[in-house]
Amino acid sequence: MAYTIDLSERVALVTGGSRGIGAAVAKMLAEARAAVVIGCTSESKTAIGLRNRLRGMGVPAELVAGDLSKPETARAYIDFVREQFGQLDILVNNAGVWKGDPIDELRPELLTEVMNVNLMSVFDLCRDAVPLLRASSQARIVNISSTASLMGEPSYSPYAASKAGLDGLTRSLAVELGPFGITVNSVAPGWTETDMTTEELKTEAGKALVESIPLKKVATPEDVANAVLFCASNMAGHISGVTIPVEGAYRIRR
């Protein structure tokens, strides 16, 4: 018998939700009948178009815009969800930037930006979301990490460090919030077909990288969204504090 994931009457916030992995997650949660709030930097045509497509699927969908490198933005996101829906059941922390420098050329402003968006904003969002999540009977936090946190990434040490910190936060919050029935997991994509990686994957080095993946392909945003949907569903009700790699065995290749 097929198992259908039904997230009816649940409200999800997906940060960085207007494109790439975030957009795939938002669509998949909407297909499972969740109401979706798309967090984005600005109300672009792409973001508005996605919101309208989700509404066309018959589910409530809203946009909340703001720069998550600024600490006040997280509270604004959560306040928006509270005002619009009065509840939050699923928090997907997907917003992130992929920037790097060789360590001996590392710019302080780059380090600050990467850490603020990829890690500090997640602390802020979780802190401000917990009162709403505690009121939910099936609360889920899903953090989008990276295999860079598991392997390291030359010349992208700020990115790898931010994602390693995110995995540490995931494990810590799983223990801290477990007594309230809140599960906390992270999904760690490897190389994925998004606008952040398109040009890199077209190079000879990028083509060689694809060949080094045992499955001989990079992930699609939907591959990653499938793992997020699982973590958000009842099927993962007793899974917490884990990091799920979605990378075609790239990190364990020989």
Could you read off the pLDDT of 43-78 as tens digits, one per residue? Answer: 999 999 999 999 999 999 999 999 999 999 999 999
User: Could you tell me the domains of the chain?
Assistant: 11-192+221-245 (3.40.50.720)
Question: Taking Cα atoms as reference points, which of 166, 148, 137 lies closest to residue 15?
Answer: 166
- Per-residue pLDDT, averaged over 69-93, amounts to 97
Q: Please, what is the average pLDDT of the chain? A: 94
What is the pLDDT, as a whole number, of residue 254?
56
Whether residue 146 has pLDDT greater than 60 = yes
CB atoms within 10 A of CB 221: 20
Could you read off the pLDDT of 184-238 as tens digits, one per residue? Answer: 999 999 988 887 777 778 888 888 888 888 999 999 999 999 999 999 999 999 9
Rounded percentage of the chain residues whose pLDDT exceeds 70: 98
Whether residue 117 has pLDDT greater than 70 = yes
The angle formed by the CA atoms of residues 107, 111 and 113, to the nearest 5 degrees, is 115
pTM of the model: 0.95
Residues 199 and 197: their CA atoms lie apart, in Å, by 6
Q: 13: Cβ–Cβ under 8 A, 6 or more apart, which residues?
A: 36, 37, 39, 64, 77, 78, 81, 88, 90, 91, 92, 129
- Per-residue pLDDT, averaged over 85-106, amounts to 95
Q: How many residues does the chain have?
A: 254
Whether residue 40 has pLDDT greater than 80 = yes
159 included as an active-site residue: yes
pLDDT level of residue 250 (50, 70, 90 thresholds): confident
Whether residue 177 has pLDDT greater than 70 = yes
Could you read off the pLDDT of 123-142 as tens digits, one per residue? Answer: 999 999 999 999 999 999 99
Question: Taking Cα atoms as reference points, which of 50, 136, 141, 163 lies closest to residue 92?
Answer: 141
> Could you give the 3-state DSSP secondary structure of residue 183?
strand
Which token pair is 66? 């703001």
What is the pLDDT, as a whole number, of residue 2?
55
What does the CA dihedral 80, 82, 87, 90 come to, rounded to 10 degrees?
30
Whether residue 1 has pLDDT greater than 60 = no
Place of tokens 């790097």: 100
- Identified catalytic residue from 77, 156, 159, 250: 159
